[in-house]
Copies of this chain bind each other. A is one copy, B any other.
Amino acid sequence: MLKHIPVAAESTHCSTCMMGSVCLPVGMPASEVAKLDDLVKDRIRLQKGQALFQHGEKLDALFGLRTGSIKTQLDEANGAHQITGFFLPGEIVGLDGMIEGEHSSTAIAMEDSEACVVKLQDIDEISRYVPSLQHQVRRLMSREIARSHQVLLALGSMRSEQRLAAFLLNLSQRLTALGYSPSEFIMRMSREELGNYLGLTLETVSRLFSRFAREGIIIVNQRDIKITDMAALNELIGKPC
């Protein structure tokens, strides 16, 4: 059972949340953000491995990740699955599969995590007096489409080393936006999960890490990554530094 935590009156709301600058309100006029306080009525605390929602479940809310990290995946009939995204704090999970009111994917916590629950009906309610909220949801969904197109680009037209380079650069950027170091971080996902996401086997991913390390591009210690030559990564994906 999911652990729900009602958001107490004196607790953090969107308008006072530290994540505001990168989360749902990002880019909204401050005057409007102030009116979002009723948007999040509770939060969910997840333990590592727990599902935030599962394929086929009724969908009536979006989730703003506050702490931790989450992966989303498409489950296949034969038991296999394809990971479609890794989410960091401030990012919105659950934008896919509002078709027929059912989730089309499954979201699983990769470490202990906490997410704000944003009910769809509250979005509708609040957009009546916060006109920009609907635009915001559209913008977030649009960004999610663009994001998955980027992954499509990687899977469709990059070689293995480029996929990993693109992934590391993307992760670095997103972590930077959260205030972390651009060049040193801990990956929450296993080699297998990363391989699944990138359309490679776990062995290939492992070999790539070793090779990048041998070439002096990164320093690898299990999931602890230090990027020592950002330019080389950019060059790999054809972006002249």
Contact = CB atoms under 8 A, between A and B. Distances in A.
Interface stretch (A133-141, A204-212, A218-226): A133-141
A146 interface: yes
Top 6 closest pairs, chain A to chain B, by CB:
A98-B142, A155-B155, A156-B199, A96-B145, A82-B153, A141-B141
A144 to B, nearest CB: 6
Interface string A134-165: 11011101111110111111011100000000
A32 interface: no
A156 B155 contact: yes
Interface in A172-216: 196-199
Contacts of A153: 74, 76, 82, 84
Contact of A97 (B124, B142, B198): B142
A69 interface: no
Contacts of A78: 238
* Chain A at the B interface: SS class: helix
A80 interface: yes
Contacts of A135: 124
A178 to B, nearest CB: 19
Contacts of A198: 156
A145 B97 contact: yes
Contacts of A3: none
Interface in A102-133: 104-105, 124, 127, 131
9 contacts: A74-B149, A83-B156, A95-B142, A96-B149, A99-B146, A127-B134, A156-B196, A156-B198, A157-B199
Interface of A: 74, 76-78, 80, 82-84, 95-99, 104-105, 124, 127, 131, 134-135, 137-139, 141-146, 148-153, 155-157, 196-199, 238-239
A95 B141 CA distance: 9
B141 A152 contact: no
Contacts of A239: 77
Nearest to A127: B134
Nearest to A94: B142
Contact of A82 (B80, B98, B157): B157
Contacts of A197: 156
